[in-house]
Amino acid sequence: MTRIILYSPEPVLAKGLASLLASTTAFKLIAICEQTDNLEPLIAIKKPDILLLDLTYGVSFQLIQDLRRNTPDCRVMLWVSRISTELAYQAIGLGVRGILQRSLPLNTILEALAKVHKGELWFDKALTESILEARKVALTRREGQLVTMLSQGLKNKEVAMMLCVSENTVKVYLSRLFQKVGVKDRFELALYGLRNVSGGHCRFDPSAHPLDRKSAIAGIQPPV
């Protein structure tokens, strides 16, 4: 039997998954954790085969990295409503073994859990194709500077001071960049910059290692 721990701060969703898994004999949800600080000690005690992380603001790349380092025998999967190509790519580089959409039917969820338990990777077809088809995006010099600053964790006010422009101008630049690069917020744009910005151009290269600048990744916080 595959033993699973779920992290989720949303009890209704957690109970829904528990109910689904209770209908099978191959999987058992042995614990539900609502606080990220409790995950490592809980894993040490329960020794699950899989940790399923609800991708909320409580889950950071630093948390995933720490869990993979300190609990190497537990396979980590993300449970998401949606995820961008760039975030998925970074997660894969950190050792995440699968990304599970909340909207999947039960038989697909069970198939994904089984594959990951066997040591395989599991990502849905659409996400896999989006990673493989990610395109090169040409940035102006100013756009490249802005993305680099975001990647270093600077806030709008700090970026405005360094570029000698107003905060409103920075917001306009960001809005245009979100659309141009194909991300939804400054957090994803910063992650995109960590992987892709070089000489004013962005290039997404699936063969490159996503942890070249892991220390910088750890310093980025989601937007408030």
Provide the whole-model pTM: 0.60
Per run of 10 residues, the mean pLDDT along the chain (length 224 residues) is 94 88 91 94 96 89 90 93 80 86 88 92 76 64 85 85 91 89 77 59 36 31 33
pLDDT at 205: 35
Contact 142, 173 (CB under 8 A): yes
pLDDT at 47: 95
pLDDT at 134: 56
Q: Structural domains in the chain?
A: 2-132 (3.40.50.2300), 137-218 (1.10.10.10)
DSSP classification of residue 26: S
pLDDT at 133: 57
CA dihedral over 156, 94, 216, 126, signed as positive or negative: negative
Token look-up 């528990």 returns 18
Instruction: Tell me the HSE value of 170 on the side-chain side, using a 13 A CA sphere.
Output: 20
pLDDT at 27: 94
Contact 184, 178 (CB under 8 A): yes
